[in-house]
Chains A and B, each alone.
Chain A
């Protein structure tokens, strides 16, 4: 299985909005609404930010939102804050009942 495709890096200024894309295929992202997004700070375990394309776990800021169109999912962070600077990973359930991750995107808050 091939990794999902994410941009290596994105950046934005405090208060701005950014979007991170996650491109897959009809066998993963396009097949189910089981796309998740994780935030990872250095030396820490990943934290679930979005699940099932657009749902936020309890405690996650509503500045984080997710969507999907065809084989591409997206994570949008609005009102960027310094604490949002981290690595972000998408994941998707696949038709083979496996899980595949994106390569990760480093978000810099300038």
Chain B
């Protein structure tokens, strides 16, 4: 059973960088057809896709966040991470790390972390 677990600070100051790590167990990040993603959900609001990375390092980001976000992967630790720069209160959200399976014939998010609340406040 694949499990994902987010970790990182729960409080970040405005203008600073939000950094989160996702540790994957029960499966390998070094697998074809899987894209390791970050999704967030502001309190009381809907889901927003942030971006993904493949184990080979190819990335794609939400255009609205592309200028501020970087996703990276560490295959030796079976982890992937995200950094969101210049945060504001609007970046306060529950952040989920998610496995995205995508092949020629199928594409879906199957395993989610439990989510971690990150609050941006001074």
Binding site for B on A (CB under 8 A): 1, 3, 32, 34, 36, 38, 45-48, 51-52, 57, 89, 91, 93, 96-104
B46 at the binding interface (Cβ < 8 Å): yes
Q: How far is the CB of B113 from chain A (nearest CB, A)?
A: 7
Whether A99 contacts B37 by the Cβ 8 Å rule is yes
Whether B49 contacts A36 by the Cβ 8 Å rule is no
Binding site for A on B (CB under 8 A): 37, 46-49, 52, 60-64, 96, 100, 102, 105-110, 112-115
Whether B49 contacts A98 by the Cβ 8 Å rule is yes
List of A residues within 8 angstroms of B61 by Cβ: 98
List of A residues within 8 angstroms of B106 by Cβ: 34, 51-52
With known contacts A45-B114, A98-B62, A89–B47 Cβ distance under 8 A: yes
A-B contact pairs, 22 of them (CB 8 A): A1-B64, A3-B46, A34-B102, A36-B108, A45-B112, A45-B114, A46-B47, A46-B96, A47-B112, A48-B108, A51-B106, A52-B107, A52-B108, A91-B109, A93-B102, A98-B62, A99-B109, A101-B46, A102-B46, A103-B46, A104-B46, A104-B47
Chain A residue with the shortest CB-CB distance to B108: A51
List of A residues within 8 angstroms of B108 by Cβ: 34, 36, 48, 51-52
